[in-house]
Amino acid sequence: MKIIVCDNYKDMSEKAFLIFKDALRDSRSLGFATGKTPVMLYGMLSSECASGRISFSDKVSFNLDEYYPISRSDPSSYGHYMEEHLFRNIDIGRESIFFPNSELSGENSVRLYADAYRSRGPIDLQVLGIGHNGHIGFNEPGSGRDSTIRLVSLSGDTIRRNNARANMAITMGIREIMDSGRIILLASGEEKSEAIRLAVHGGITSDVPASFLQEHSNCVFVIDKAAASKL
Ligand code: GLP
Q: What is the pLDDT of residues 158-180, one digit of tens each?
A: 999 999 989 999 999 999 999 99
Which secondary-structure segment (H or E) carries 63? Answer: strand 60-63
Residues 6+ apart with CB under 8 A from 212: 145, 174, 177, 178, 204, 206
- Single-letter amino acid code for the residue at 140: E
Per-residue pLDDT of 191-225, as tens digits, reads 999 999 999 999 999 999 999 999 999 999 999 99
Name the 3-class secondary structure at 60.
strand
CB-CB contact of 3 with 200 (8 Å): yes
pLDDT given at position 193: 98
Q: Which atom of ligand 1 is nearest to the CA of 171?
A: 8
Question: Is 66 among the residues known to form the active site?
Answer: no
Q: Is the CB of 78 under 6 A from ligand 1?
A: no
- What separation in angstroms does the CA of 131 have from each of 69, 152, 195? 21, 15, 7
- Residue 165 confidence (pLDDT): 85
Residue 72: pLDDT over 90:
no
Average pLDDT over residues 184-189: 98
Give the predicted TM-score (pTM) of the model.
Answer: 0.97
pLDDT at residue 17, as a whole number: 98
Mean pLDDT of the chain: 97
- Tell me, what's the pLDDT at 130? 98
Query: For 118-142, how does the pLDDT look when each residue is reduced to its tens digit (9 = 90+)?
Result: 999 999 999 999 999 999 999 999 9
202 ligand 1 Cβ < 6 A: no
User: For this structure, is 140 an active site residue?
Assistant: yes
Q: For a pocket test of ligand 1, which of 13, 32, 34 has the largest count of ligand atoms closer than 8 A to its C-beta?
A: 34
Cβ(131) – ligand 1 distance below 6 Å? yes
Q: By the 8 A CB rule, do 46 and 84 touch? A: no
Mean pLDDT, rounded, for 7-30:
98
